[in-house]
């Protein structure tokens, strides 16, 4: 199955970034303009807060998808995972960026619906005019009350990750999931939803075992009452799990400077963990963030500083300098970004 990268890629980008285009205000636009100016010019110090914040509200997951960290955890490691984010921590973050941040995505490597306060978090963000979206496997046996609460929470977009239209194809990637449960939840969500939100989006990762179903997706979308689709190439998680693909690299062989910074994360986004630690992105050092938090190198903590101060801190300025010209500003062996394959030759692995 081939995808025309240029037109198709831009189409997918536009659809996935729906939450960045709605509920705009002059203050949000001004903050976004500041951050985009910083990215385009490579200027590490122009002020503002992240345009987008990924909030890890629930590190745990009931499924064992091969591409994900959760498929390789031992029982002691699973028990040691961080607890779900407290409601007060989330509310404090919202208060710090309300009126400026465009969107928050309330998930990272876990299943957001496992946080019992998720609907309250979504409502608090919505009342602060912050758009929200989650990606969920939606494979939990949810009551009518839970689904109605989600439908009325103010959630802007719900992305449901399926990756298979039959139990056979679904089960090869979504291990421990149940397609019947997903579809039952989905039908009730469509029934309980009032208006156009949450926008319901089907996410489908294409592998060799399910590529024959791609022509069936549009009919499935319409039949299930889904608003939109995101179709991406998947990768073989058994051979290349995320934690290995984004693990720190040895040595220091920086990529040459380009016209634009090599990574947009330190200019536009941030990841906030359950304990309030702020990290440079959601891809890099994932295993450390979940299992070895004493070595994870956070760039700040929202319980100790406001997001404004964290985003203007020396650690964040260094992240932007590394992204703009890693050869000039590196190495920085104690920095979160050091060893990232985006910044340096990634042939060498730990």
Q: Are 142 and 113 in contact (CB under 8 A)?
A: yes
Q: Check pLDDT > 90 for residue 134.
A: yes
Measure CA of the first residue to CA of the last residue in the chain; give whole Å: 34
Find the mean pLDDT for residues 249-272. Answer: 91
Find the mean pLDDT for residues 246-264. Answer: 87
Q: What is the pLDDT of residues 185-236, one digit of tens each?
A: 999 999 999 888 999 999 999 988 999 999 999 999 999 999 999 998 876 5
Find the mean pLDDT for residues 26-39. Answer: 96
Residues 6 or more apart whose CB falls under 8 angstroms from that of 44 comprise 38, 316, 317, 320, 321, 324
Provide the mean pLDDT of the chain: 89
Q: For residue 72, which of 249, 236, 295, 238 has the smallest C-alpha distance?
A: 238
- Cα 322 to its chain centre, rounded Å, is 22
Find the mean pLDDT for residues 287-292. Answer: 79
In the Cβ-directed half-sphere of 190, how many Cα atoms lie within 13 Å? 16
pTM for this entry: 0.91
Catalogue the E-assigned strands of 256-319. 269-272, 277-279, 300-301
Q: What is the pLDDT of residues 39-51, one digit of tens each?
A: 999 899 889 999 9
Q: Which domains does the chain have, with CATH numbers?
A: 7-246+260-345 (3.20.20.70)
Q: Check pLDDT > 70 for residue 73.
A: yes
Dihedral, 180, 181, 184, 188 alpha carbons, nearest 10: -160
């Amino acid at each position: 199955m081939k995808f025309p990268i240029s037109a198709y890629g831009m189409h997918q980008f536009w659809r996935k970034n729906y939450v960045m285009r709605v509920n705009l205000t002059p203050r949000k636009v001004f903050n976004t303009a500041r951050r985009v100016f910083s990215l385009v010019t490579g200027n590490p110090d122009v002020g503002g807060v992240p345009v987008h914040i990924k909030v890890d509200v629930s590190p745990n997951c009931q499924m064992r998808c091969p591409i994900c960290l959760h498929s390789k955890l031992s029982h002691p490691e699973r028990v040691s995972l961080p607890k779900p984010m407290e409601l007060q921590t989330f509310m404090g973050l919202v208060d710090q960026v309300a009126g400026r941040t465009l969107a928050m995505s309330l998930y990272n490597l876990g299943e957001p619906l496992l946080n019992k306060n998720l609907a309250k978090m979504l409502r608090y963000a919505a009342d602060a005019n912050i758009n929200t979206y989650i990606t969920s496997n939606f494979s939990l046996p949810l009551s009518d009350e839970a689904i109605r609460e989600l439908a009325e929470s103010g959630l802007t977009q719900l992305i449901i990750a399926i990756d298979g239209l039959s139990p056979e194809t679904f089960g090869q990637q979504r291990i421990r999931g149940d397609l019947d449960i997903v579809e039952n939840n989905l039908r009730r969500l469509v029934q309980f939803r009032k208006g156009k939100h949450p926008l319901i989006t089907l996410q489908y990762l294409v592998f060799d075992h399910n590529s024959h179903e791609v022509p069936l997706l549009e009919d499935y979308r319409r039949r299930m009452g889904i608003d939109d689709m995101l179709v991406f190439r998947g990768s073989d998680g058994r051979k290349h799990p995320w934690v290995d693909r984004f693990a720190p690299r040895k040595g220091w062989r920086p990529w040459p400077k380009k016209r634009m910074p090599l990574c947009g994360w330190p200019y536009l986004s941030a990841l906030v963990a359950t304990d309030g630690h702020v990290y440079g992105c959601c891809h890099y050092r994932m295993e450390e963030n979940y299992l070895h938090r004493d070595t994870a190198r956070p760039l700040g903590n929202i319980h100790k500083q406001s997001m404004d101060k964290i985003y203007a801190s020396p650690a964040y300025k260094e992240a932007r300098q590394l992204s703009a010209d890693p050869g000039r500003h590196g190495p920085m062996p104690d920095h979160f970004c050091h060893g990232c394959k985006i910044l340096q030759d990634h042939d060498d692995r730990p």
